[in-house]
């Protein structure tokens, strides 16, 4: 009589074995996620570098045509208030768009009507260009217009933008890149001091100065007090009085040692509209990545972390440890947030005569 064969007994995983496997998988995921995030950030940073390279090339194309870099803003009417002036002028960003392959957008601007109001640039005003947006910054790219605009995110449009297109609700596109006004004061001549800028006039014995007259790059708007001198336009931006923009020949510190354009964060800025004149520049007297994302409490007011304090006029980014900058020679460099402020200011001035070591930044 033949005995029936029985299949071999099959044993499943025990609970302990399952837990060990899950733990191993969790450890592997924990090891891989930072690498994935780092790879994504590297790609975003590369795109940001490419944006700045395009802007640098566009600036040089503009220079080839007009023998100077693009001015911070154009078409300043005489003897008008801040509100009227700002609503009627446009920034350097629209001037270089033909070299960014945006000829139709440039042609949509009626330059003959700019002094008549912002509606002359309505098509451009409500157009967002990816080249002006850093992919590492995930904050909103637009903010609602009008005087009751939300102030918790994006840019606060201090002055009225054009009428919304097609009768709809208007939005204002914002920019992650600003022209450099160098080491001109960002705060001192506006009636507010900060921990970094040298008082004016500078105390006796001060040899390394942080900040020069010509607030935000402007010239002749607020006179230097007795015992001090007018610093002039130390960088490349004079958005208020339209001082003649500099040529390459004026960059006597060397184009490879002078910042032209840098990164900013709209959510930490009081007004960073792409096309509006007041959001055109930032300076090097404010440390890189200095936080100004606090609630809006009034333009120029305390605390310094307030997004509309004068300290908001600094360069910053969402990249870990610093920000990208386009130099006047068209090269793009990453500057660390720990960069010494005197070196940073020296990189901001185009003709300051400072000596900067190659290993200083």
Q: Which residues contact 290 (CB under 8 A, 6 or more apart)?
A: 311, 314, 316
- Residue 21 or 284, more confident: 284
Model pLDDT for residues 58-68, shown as the tens digit of each residue: 999 999 999 99
Q: Which residues contact 227 (CB under 8 A, 6 or more apart)?
A: 201
Q: Would the pLDDT of 116 be above 50?
A: no
Q: How many CB atoms lie within 10 A of CB 299?
A: 15
Rounded to whole angstroms, how far apart are CA atoms 283 and 166?
Answer: 37
CA-only gyration radius of the chain, Å: 25
Rounded to whole angstroms, how far apart are CA atoms 154 and 144?
Answer: 9
Q: Would the pLDDT of 208 be above 70?
A: yes
E-strand stretches of the chain: 73-74, 90-91, 142-144, 171-173, 177-180, 259-263, 281-282, 322-327, 332-336
Average confidence score pLDDT of the chain: 80
Residue position matching structure tokens 């910042």: 259
The predicted structure's pLDDT at residue 6: 54
Model pLDDT for residues 71-113, shown as the tens digit of each residue: 988 764 544 444 444 555 778 998 999 999 998 888 887 776 6
Quick one: what percent of the chain has pLDDT higher than 90? 37
- pTM score, two decimals? 0.83
> How far is it between the farthest Cα atoms of the chain?
122
């Amino acid at each position: 009589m033949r005995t029936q064969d029985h299949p071999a007994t099959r044993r499943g995983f025990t609970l302990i074995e399952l837990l060990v496997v899950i733990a191993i998988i969790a450890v592997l995921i924990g090891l891989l996620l930072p690498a994935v995030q780092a790879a994504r950030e590297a790609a975003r940073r590369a795109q940001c570098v490419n944006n700045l390279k395009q802007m640098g090339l566009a600036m040089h194309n503009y220079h080839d045509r007009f023998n100077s870099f693009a001015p911070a803003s154009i078409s300043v009417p005489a003897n008008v208030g801040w509100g009227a002036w700002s609503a009627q002028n446009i920034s350097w960003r629209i001037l270089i768009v033909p070299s960014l392959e945006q000829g139709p957008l440039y042609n949509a601007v009626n330059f003959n009507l700019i002094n008549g109001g912002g509606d002359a640039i309505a098509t451009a005003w409500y157009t967002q260009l990816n080249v002006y947006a850093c992919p590492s910054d995930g904050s909103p790219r637009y903010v609602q217009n009008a005087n009751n605009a939300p102030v918790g995110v994006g840019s606060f449009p201090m002055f009225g933008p054009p009428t919304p297109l097609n009768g709809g609700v208007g939005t204002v596109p914002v920019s992650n890149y600003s022209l450099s006004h160098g080491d001109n004061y960002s705060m001192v001549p506006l009636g507010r001091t900060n921990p970094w800028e040298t008082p004016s006039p500078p105390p006796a014995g001060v040899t390394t100065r942080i900040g020069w007259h010509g607030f935000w790059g402007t010239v002749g708007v607020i006179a230097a007090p007795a015992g001090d001198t007018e610093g002039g336009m130390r960088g490349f931006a004079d958005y208020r009085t339209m001082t003649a923009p500099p040529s390459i020949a004026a960059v006597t510190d060397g184009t490879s040692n002078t910042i032209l354009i840098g990164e900013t964060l709209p959510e930490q800025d009081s007004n960073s509209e792409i096309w509006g004149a007041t959001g055109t520049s930032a300076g090097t007297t404010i440390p890189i990545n200095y936080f100004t994302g606090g609630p809006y409490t009034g333009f120029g007011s305390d605390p310094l972390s307030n997004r509309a304090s004068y300290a908001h006029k600094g360069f910053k980014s969402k990249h870990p440890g610093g920000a990208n900058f386009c130099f006047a020679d068209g090269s793009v460099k990453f500057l660390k947030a720990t960069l010494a402020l005197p070196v940073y200011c020296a990189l901001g001035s185009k003709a300051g005569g400072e000596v900067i070591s190659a290993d200083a930044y």
